[in-house]
Amino acid sequence: MSIIHDGFHSNHTFPRSVLESLGWDANWAEQFHRFLEQGLEPARVTCEHREAYDVLAESGELRSELSGRFRHQHPVHTDWPAVGDWVAIAPRPEEGTATIHAVLRRRSRFSRKAAGDRTEEQVVAANMDVVFLVTGLDGDFNVRRIERYLTVAWDSGARPVIVLNKADICPEVSVRISEVETIAFGTPVIALSAATGQGLEALRALVPPGATGAFLGSSGVGKSSLVNALVGKARQTTQTVRRDDSRGRHTTTNRELIPLPNAGLIIDTPGMRELQIWADDDGLETAFSDVEALASRCRFGDCTHTGEPGCAVQAALEDGTLERDRFRSYTKLLREIRYQALRQDQSARLIEKNRWKKIAKEIRRMELHKGRK
């Protein structure tokens, strides 16, 4: 098996054990205790392929597959491993392979709706301490998109940080920072340049040894360039963005866990052309805390903010305290979240209906078989 992750080669000297360098701690060990009795070993997923995974354990890097029992017990792919997950494996180091038997309970996860018409969750990254929401300070700069990412990030359980890349080509960095801070509400905002190295140390400091960060953002924002700059070599392939709209093509094709020299780990993810929302009201309430605070002052608890008397939101829109574009963004995301919740409920009812149809069919088959005896 070819070793994919250069940072995990045997000639790399970790300051601590392999697992501790990957973020293993007493809480993970306590959760894993029951698997030790089964002769299994802990490992962390470093790369995801089509129904196959690269994991790193004390016995080395192994190409792994799910056990048949795990597949049977977890038909929903959301429960399958994602990059960053801790798993219980039966290793075969002499073959460079392993079998995954369980996924440990996640501390955090960044999810989006799966592509297509299916109402399914797709876990993009797991067990991050911090999520870096990367956007470019070029023609693709979009505050409304940052609001969208913040809504999902606050729902993930990790701490969001907004990263404004390409500061070297932006003549008004301070203006952009101020613009983002008006919708960030305490979320750190870092302006940097992967090309010149400006601001990289501030970002690296947020991922100390044993911690895990994740880069998330649209195509062309420079995530792969940031990885190369942090690692110190051209580890990820990069492409220039289109001049007409500053949009780029995907350069990262797989989600991947990457070690940083003298720091923690980064999960690099392919660029998203559009982030399909997968979140609940909690993420929206945190990302739009200003709108929620206004809504709490409305005269009626069920105020729709569309013309009721005593509506604090409408009053703020009228006097300019609340920007109309921000409120439109809030209502759009709220509609998406409510629609998604309705689709999930309908999907759950359909699954339950089909389950009982199968049970009834099996009962009829058994009764028919009994009657023939």
pLDDT digits (tens, 9 = 90+) for 42-61: 999 999 988 899 999 998 99
Q: What is the phi-psi region of residue 55: left when phi exceeds 0, alpha when psi lies from -120 to 50, beta otherwise? A: beta
3-class SS string, 225-250: HHHHHHHCCCCCCCCCCCCCCCCCCC
Contacts with 143 (C-beta within 8 Å, 6 or more apart), sequence order: 179, 180, 183
Reported pTM: 0.79
Cα–Cα dist 212/258, whole Å? 9
Q: How far is CA 304 from the centre of its chain?
A: 31
What is the reported pLDDT for 235?
56
**Of 181, 125, 182, nearest to 190 (Cα)?**
181
Which tokens in the block code for residue 74? 């977890």
365, exposed or middle or buried, with CB in 10 Å at 0-12, 13-18, 19+? exposed
List average pLDDT for each run of 10 residues in the chain, which is 373 residues long.
Answer: 34 58 93 92 94 92 96 89 96 95 95 69 92 92 92 92 96 95 93 94 94 91 91 60 45 78 91 68 90 94 90 95 94 87 61 59 65 62
Cα–Cα dist 326/331, whole Å? 9
191, exposed or middle or buried, with CB in 10 Å at 0-12, 13-18, 19+? buried
Give phi and psi for 254, each to the nearest 5: -125, 145
Amino acid code (one letter) for 270: P
What is the reported pLDDT for 360?
63
Cα–Cα dist 38/53, whole Å? 21
The answer to whether the CB of 275 falls within 8 A of the CB of 112 is yes
What is the reported pLDDT for 364?
66
Please compute Rg for the chain using Cα positions.
24
**Of 251, 210, 201, 187, nearest to 230 (Cα)?**
201
- Cα 238-240-242 angle, rounded to 5 deg: 145
What is the reported pLDDT for 306?
87
| Residues 278-297 pLDDT 10s | 777 888 999 999 999 999 99
What is the reported pLDDT for 244?
47
Cα–Cα dist 11/353, whole Å? 55
Other beta carbons within 10 angstroms of residue 343's beta carbon come to 15
What is the reported pLDDT for 31?
94
Element counts in the chain: helices (H) and strands (E): 11, 13
Sign of CA dihedral 314, 315, 317, 318: positive
